[in-house]
Structure 1
Amino acid sequence: MIRLDRDGGLWTVTLDRPDKANALTGAMLGDLAGIASDAAGKAQALILTGTGKVFSAGADLDAARAGLATDPVWEQVSGAIAALPCLTIAALNGTLAGGAFGMALACDLRIAVPSAKFFYPVMKLGFLPQPSDPVRLAALIGPARAKMILMAGQKITADTALAYGLVEELAEPDALLPRARELATDALAATPAHAAAIKGMI
């Protein structure tokens, strides 16, 4: 369900449940939190991606009904990713929805395929977003646009996400991971301390 590939200092974490639109269970979120914590001090760059045509539909529906939608594990995952001293890149292979937003928002860079869509239907579903998600979203795209997604329930296209500043680049599906690896090149060539220092300054 969660696949980790290591190539020297480059860690690639893949959500691998394409038959369920990479919907996340509690066990998958626990694995992600563990990998992110383990990457501190070991990975020089980390790429987060998915298989299939959807990055993640958010919480698995059965698990959400059982309480996963409001579980603090979502915040643990995004917090562990945000705390990493290395360069982190979300390579969004498709649509990003719901609680999975937090993982992408916690990354340093986001690139997406042109067919991706972005939505976070907490208003409609009656849940609050995880605490850090609105803060990170507003920091990227501004408070009014954050409200467009979180309060007005708007599903935005990849082109709009690029215009908003939610993603940095668009890449065709076959070029997505190569581009993410290319963006990691300088970080992989630097010492971890140097990369961490620059990230800390920013």
Structure 2
Amino acid sequence: MIELSKSEGLWVVTINRPDKANSLTLDMLEQLVQIALDAKDQANGFVLTGSGKVFSAGADLDAAKAGLATSDVWERLSGAIAELPCLTIAALNGTLAGGAFGMALACDLRIAVPHAKFFYPVMKLGFLPQPSDPVRLRSLIGPSKTKLILMASQKIDAAQAYQFGLVDMIVEIEELIPTVRSLAEPSLAARPEIRAGIKALCT
């Protein structure tokens, strides 16, 4: 249910469980963590996307009830993505929710389709978000809009996300992967020390 393709140094990781809104089990999350760790020394570019019309609904419902919603695996995953020395892009093919937010926030760029929606209903569900998620969200959109999402449990659409600065571009679904590949090209062609050095200067 986690697919990995590699082409010219670009790793494209696809969450492929569309019948369950690409919700994530512990096994799937552990696979994602391992892929991100492997990518640190091997990938020249890294893309996260989903199949179907939803990027990810977050934790699988049954797994969430068993404790996955508050597991540290989400933090390990976002940390592994954030530490990658190459350009990382979340290709948001649709809505993302809950813990899946952390994966997208850990990426350098977020490219979304027009129908994507964003929500992180931890206040309603009664537990804290992963520690790094509010920090990264606040750095992108500021404290008040972060509270709008995390405390007021507001669902925002792609246009609002772009206006807030949460996503960097909005493209039609058929242009999503071609756009992402185009954005990754300069990084793929660069020497590793230049790629990593520029990323460090931007962080």
Bucket of the pairwise TM-score, normalised by the shorter protein: over 0.9
Q: In structure 2, what is the equivalent of residue 43 of structure 1?
A: 43
User: Residue 114 of structure 2 aligns to a residue in which SS?
Assistant: coil
Aligned AA for 2:58? G
| Counterparts of 1:126 and 1:40, CA distance in 2 | 34
Structure 2 equivalent of residue 10 of structure 1: 10
Flag structure 2 segments of 5+ consecutive residues without an equivalent: none
| CA-CA distance at 1:41 after TM superposition | 1.6
Q: Which residue of 1 aligns with 2:192?
A: 192
**Is 1:105–1:137's contact at 8 Å kept on the other side of the alignment?**
yes
How many angstroms apart in 2 are the aligned matches of 1:193 and 1:76?
A: 25
Give the superposition deviation at 1:192.
Answer: 1.4
| Equivalence map 1:22-101=2 (5 Å) | 22-101=22-101
Distance in 1 separating the partners of 2:142 and 2:76: 24
Q: What is the identity, as a one-letter code, of the residue corresponding to 1:33?
A: V
**Residue 106 (structure 1) aligns with:** 106
Q: What is the number of equivalent residue pairs in this alignment?
A: 202
Structure 1 CA distance for aligned equivalents of residues 41 and 201 of structure 2: 18
Task: For 2:110, give the aligned amino acid.
Answer: R
Determine the structure 2 residue equivalent to 1:152: 152
| TM-score, structure 2 normalization | 0.99
Match of 2:177 in 1: 177
Distance (Å, rounded) in 2 between the aligned partners of 1:62 and 1:122: 17
Normalised by the size of structure 1, how large is the TM-score? Answer: 0.99
Q: CA deviation at 1:167?
A: 0.2
1:53-80 per-position Cα deviation (integer Å, ceiling 9, x unaligned): 0000000000000000110000000000
- How do residues 115-134 of structure 1 correspond to structure 2 at under 5 angstroms? 115-134=115-134
| Aligned equivalents of 2:37, 2:94: Cα separation in 1 | 25
Residue deviations 1:89-135, cap 9 Å, x none?
00000001000000000000000000000000000000100000000
Superposed CA deviations along residues 25-74 of structure 1, whole A, max 9, x for unmatched, are 00000000000000002101001000000000000000000000110000
What letter matches 2:10 in structure 1? L
Contact 1:74 1:99 in 2 (8 A): yes
Q: CA-atom RMSD, angstroms? A: 0.4
How far apart in 2 are the matches of 1:194 and 1:41? Answer: 15
Quick check: 1:41–1:192 contact (8 Å CA) kept in 2? no
Identity within the alignment, %: 67
CA displacement 1:163-197 (0-9 Å, x = unmatched) = 00000000100000000000001001101111000
Q: CA deviation at 1:8?
A: 2.1
Kindly provide the amino acid, as one letter, of the partner of residue 48 in structure 1: L
What CA distance in whole angstroms lies between the structure 2 residues aligned with 1:201 and 1:149? 29
Q: Distance in 2 between matches of 1:30 and 1:12?
A: 17
Tell me the SS of whatever aligns to 2:42. coil
